[in-house]
């Protein structure tokens, strides 16, 4: 499959599905843990730590999935380099090292940082600051982490984008002839054409 562009696209989409699942479920688990604390549960108690452990497991799975997606993306890029004749000498490499994946795209590090942030088990804290002369605002760590974890919603956007692009007939052939890559801008143009354009793009 590493030498098949279509299979790489399908595996990339399947990875998007897994990443979206782990990310969004982890987000809901984080919110549930915060609700337990806000409801009066002991932040250091067994129930809250059990929820945090589940959130940590989902976070680790998400990080592994994100790393795998960039690995598949690196293989896909090697195939595209040959397809677009950007590397005329030799064929596409069917193997990519972890170091190459980590150094090829800086967005990977940003995603790993965003996805790694969560409320770890057996760790709780609170902080606050004065607002005016008579008020004091207090924040719990679980609440702050839950807010940051909601950034994982971007995984749903990427899933929709890659899913739509995969449905385009002869997408790679069109890219080869026009020398134009279909990406986020093309996806936004299709979806912003209106509800009819968005629905008909899947038909």
Confidence of residue 202 (pLDDT cuts 50, 70, 90): low
Residue 102 lies in a domain: yes
Most confident of 31-40, 73-82, 94-103: 31-40
Give the pLDDT score at 115: 96
Residues 6+ apart with CB under 8 A from 172: 5, 6, 83
In a domain, 200, yes or no: no
Q: How far apart, in Å, are the Cα atoms of 67 and each of 39, 44, 127, 133, 203?
A: 36, 32, 33, 48, 32
Q: How many CB atoms lie within 10 A of CB 133?
A: 5
Domain containing 59: what range? 5-155
| 58 located within any domain | yes
Tell me, yes or no, whether 177 lies in a domain: no
CA distances from 189 to 86, 155, 166, 171, 177 (A): 27, 19, 16, 16, 20
Picking from 61, 60, 54, the residue whose alpha carbon sits closest to that of residue 36 is 54
Mean pLDDT of 154-174: 83
Does a structural domain hold residue 135?
yes
Q: CA-CA distance, 64 to 163, in Å (whole number)?
A: 21
Check pLDDT > 80 for residue 139.
Answer: yes
In a domain, 33, yes or no: yes
Average pLDDT over the chain reads 84
Q: Domain tally for the chain?
A: 1
In a domain? residue 173:
no
Mean pLDDT of 169-174: 74
Q: Whose CA is closest to 26, among 65, 53, 59? A: 59
pTM of the shown model? 0.82
Q: Is 162 within a domain?
A: no
């Amino acid at each position: 499959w590493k030498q098949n562009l279509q299979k790489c696209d399908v595996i990339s989409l399947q990875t998007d599905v897994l990443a979206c699942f782990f990310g969004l479920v982890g987000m809901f688990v984080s919110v549930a843990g915060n609700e337990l604390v806000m409801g009066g549960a002991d932040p250091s108690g067994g129930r809250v730590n059990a929820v945090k452990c589940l959130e940590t497991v989902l976070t680790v799975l998400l990080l592994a999935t994100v790393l795998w997606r960039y690995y598949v993306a690196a293989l896909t890029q090697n195939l595209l380099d040959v397809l677009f004749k950007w590397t005329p000498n030799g064929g596409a490499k069917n193997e990519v090292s972890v170091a190459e994946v980590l150094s090829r795209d800086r967005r990977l590090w940003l995603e790993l940082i965003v996805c790694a942030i969560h409320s770890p088990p057996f760790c709780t804290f609170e902080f606050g600051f004065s607002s005016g002369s008579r008020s004091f605002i207090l924040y719990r760590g679980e609440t702050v982490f839950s807010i940051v974890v909601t950034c994982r919603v971007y995984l749903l956007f990427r899933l929709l984008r890659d899913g739509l692009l995969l449905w385009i007939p002869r997408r790679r052939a069109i890219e080869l002839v026009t020398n134009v890559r279909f990406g986020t801008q093309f996806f936004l143009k299709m979806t912003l054409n209106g509800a009819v354009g968005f629905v008909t793009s899947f038909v």
